[in-house]
Copies of this chain bind each other. A is one copy, B any other.
Amino acid sequence: MEKKGLKLEQQLCFEVYKASSNFTKMYSRVLGPFQLTFPQYLVLLVLWEEDHLLMKEIGDRLGFGTGTLNPIINRMIAQGRLLKEQSTEDKRAWVISLTEKAKKEHEPISQAVYEKLISCNFLDVNALTLMKNLKDLNAFFEEMDL
């Protein structure tokens, strides 16, 4: 039987893996001045779209488990960006809200990210094709339940 040795350069997983770490590094440079990490920025993105969400709702949208999300939220509370209040209807659930500080940051942070993307020509046609293929891929992953 021939060798089943898949070469590194042929592996989709590796290209995706590298692309992800490349993105994380790029975003880190943009977000660093705001004392913000990429996952923390994702949490802000979610809450800027809709404030006052439960931990679970944020986790669902980002695909974060509680073991990942909880420490992130705690750090962002310590940063003065988030508030956590127990839900009155369901005492198990906690509502996460943006502070005024985090609301005011919406514009400048989005602007900084936007300018970086522009300066990289990231908003071109190629990115759209990639986007579509990746959405298909991720939908596929969710279907097959890994």
Contacts and interface: CB of A to CB of B under 8 A. Distances in A.
A17 to B, nearest CB: 5
A12 B130 contact: yes
A8 B107 contact: no
A18 B136 contact: no
Interface of A: 3-8, 11-27, 29, 38, 42, 45-46, 48-49, 61, 63, 106-107, 110-111, 113-114, 120, 122, 126-127, 129-131, 133-138, 140-141, 144, 146
Given A4-B107, A110-B5, A129-B133, A138 B27 contact: no
B146 A25 contact: yes
Contacts of A126: 133, 136-137
